[in-house]
Amino acid sequence: MTAEMTDEVRQLRSAMKEFIDGEVIPREHEIERMDAHAGEVVEELKAEAKRRNLWALGHPAEIGGGGLPFMTFALLNEIIGRSEYGQVAVGSMTMQDSIMLHLYASPPQRERFLKPLVAGEISPSVGLTEPEVAGSDPTLMQTTAVLDGDEWVINGHKWFTSNGSRAAYCTVFAKTDPDAASKYAQFSAILVPTDTPGYEIVRQVPTMGHVGGDHCEIRYNDVRVPRDNLLGERGQGFTIAQRRLGPGRIFHCMRWLGQAQRAFELMVERANSRWAHGSLLKDKGEIQRYVAESAAEIQAARLMTLDAARAMDRGEQARVEISLIKFHGAQMLHNVIDRAIQVHGALGVTGDTPLERMYREARYARIYDGPDEVHRMVVARTLLAGGAPPWA
């Protein structure tokens, strides 16, 4: 798969690696604190990424991005993912939202939300999940939006709205058509600026990780927005959510590859330098097994991810391919970081290496954008119903 890379992609990867390893990784400890200084560091890194022409490379070209094809971006995102903060620094964290707006936003919505998003001037958020009902079955969502004259009036309770307190707006998914025959046609997507009266941040929910530790619980108390803030068509909420989540899941998997590769490098370094029981760790069969299994899992996930990206480039929905890598990639990430921690012994659970932070982040991966079980269900149901497997 590496042999397929053009010289241009190789050069881009090499420039990105220089930026991520040379500029972003050395500043991770500053960003991790999530204070005012962290915000300044992120702005400095964003400016540097722009200066090096590494900004927003995967966003569609028509809206000011680099317009890289999915596959090329996959190969680049593997490098960006080496640092959990890479995606913020190079503007790729907002890609799923910019793709969604690019597909569905009206001209005024593009001006107001999409342009500043791609320029890195504002951050988005998305409100699907609600504490009272299972997020893995979004047809259960209870938030409502009712038309009153020329305004939508939104009432509901969301949580895990990532970036909730920093975002300029939230794409809120709400029930607008409870009488629609299909439960999938009952929901719509509405753009809600976060300074709208009634948008109440109850709290930033404490979680086990650091990155984007801004997972908010939010109440919508008679939130009124203009009718024109509807994104796409009324009743199209599920289609819009899927169009955002599909590419988003591939982006996650690509980043996870970068994280796993970095953990792998740390594991190899430690195995080559730590001495115990008469030899270096690298000479122990158990440790060699960790290295070999990790290499196999990373490469398998990598090929599966690139296969899914290729299917997306062909214009396919690639539902089976995406669900396969979502659960397989998340498990791979967990396994590789876990082994790297083990090889580091006590050092592995300290803040002196990035591994403990990476491990906590990796745990999220098996839940967000659909838990493992749901993705396994999608794959199994499709294949059992006679759907084509990815190799067919």
For ligand FAD, the closer CB: 134 or 303: 134
For ligand FAD, the closer CB: 137 or 150: 137
Report the C-alpha gap between 233 and 219 in whole angstroms: 24
For ligand FAD, the closer CB: 9 or 205: 205
For ligand FAD, the closer CB: 377 or 383: 377
* φ/ψ (deg, to 5) at 188: -130, 165
Closest residue to ligand FAD in the complex (CB): 135
Q: In this structure, what is the dihedral angle of CA atoms 373, 260, 91, 63, given to the nearest 10 degrees?
A: -60
For ligand FAD, the closer CB: 55 or 173: 173
For ligand FAD, the closer CB: 75 or 122: 122
Smallest distance, ligand FAD to C-beta of residue 363, A: 8
**In the set 59, 112, 157, 215, which binds ligand FAD (CB under 6 A)?**
215
Residue 128 in the binding site for ligand FAD (CB under 6 A): yes
Nearest to 348 by CA among 357, 356, 339, 360: 356
Residue 208 in the binding site for ligand FAD (CB under 6 A): no
* φ/ψ (deg, to 5) at 126: -135, 130
Smallest distance, ligand FAD to C-beta of residue 10, A: 33
Q: Is 208 left (phi over 0), alpha (psi -120 to 50) or beta?
A: alpha
For ligand FAD, the closer CB: 131 or 226: 131
User: Which residues lie below 8 Å from residue 329, measured CB to CB, with a gap of 6+?
Assistant: 252, 253, 256, 257, 301, 304, 305, 365
Stretch that binds ligand FAD, among 238-246, 270-278, 365-373, 382-390 (CB under 6 A): 365-373
For ligand FAD, the closer CB: 163 or 294: 163
Residue 354 in the binding site for ligand FAD (CB under 6 A): no
Answer yes or no: are the C-beta atoms of 198 and 220 closer than 8 Å.
yes
Report how far apart, in Å, the C-alpha atoms of 295 and of each of 267, 299, 301, 323 are: 11, 6, 10, 22
Residue 368 in the binding site for ligand FAD (CB under 6 A): yes
Smallest distance, ligand FAD to C-beta of residue 109, A: 20
Report the C-alpha gap between 176 and 275 in whole angstroms: 64
* φ/ψ (deg, to 5) at 173: -100, 125
Residue 161 in the binding site for ligand FAD (CB under 6 A): yes
Residue 364 in the binding site for ligand FAD (CB under 6 A): yes
**In the set 202, 374, 382, 390, which binds ligand FAD (CB under 6 A)?**
374
Residue 129 in the binding site for ligand FAD (CB under 6 A): yes
- Three-state DSSP class for residue 335: helix
Using CB under 6 A as the binding rule, the residues of this chain from 131 to 160 that contact ligand FAD are 134-136, 160
Report the C-alpha gap between 264 and 136 in whole angstroms: 31
Residue 370 in the binding site for ligand FAD (CB under 6 A): yes
Residue 34 in the binding site for ligand FAD (CB under 6 A): no
**Where do runs of H (alpha helix) occur along the chain?**
7-19, 28-32, 36-51, 70-80, 86-89, 95-104, 107-109, 115-118, 237-271, 285-313, 319-344, 355-365, 372-384
For ligand FAD, the closer CB: 284 or 360: 360
Token readout for 168 is 């300029």
Residue 373 in the binding site for ligand FAD (CB under 6 A): yes
**Is beta strand 279-280 parallel, antiparallel or unpaired with respect to 199-204?**
unpaired
Using CB under 6 A as the binding rule, the residues of this chain from 162 to 181 that contact ligand FAD are 162
Helix, strand, coil fractions of the chain, as percent rounded to 5: 55, 15, 30
What is the contact surface with ligand FAD in residues (CB under 6 A)? 126-129, 134-136, 160-162, 215, 364, 367-371, 373-374, 377
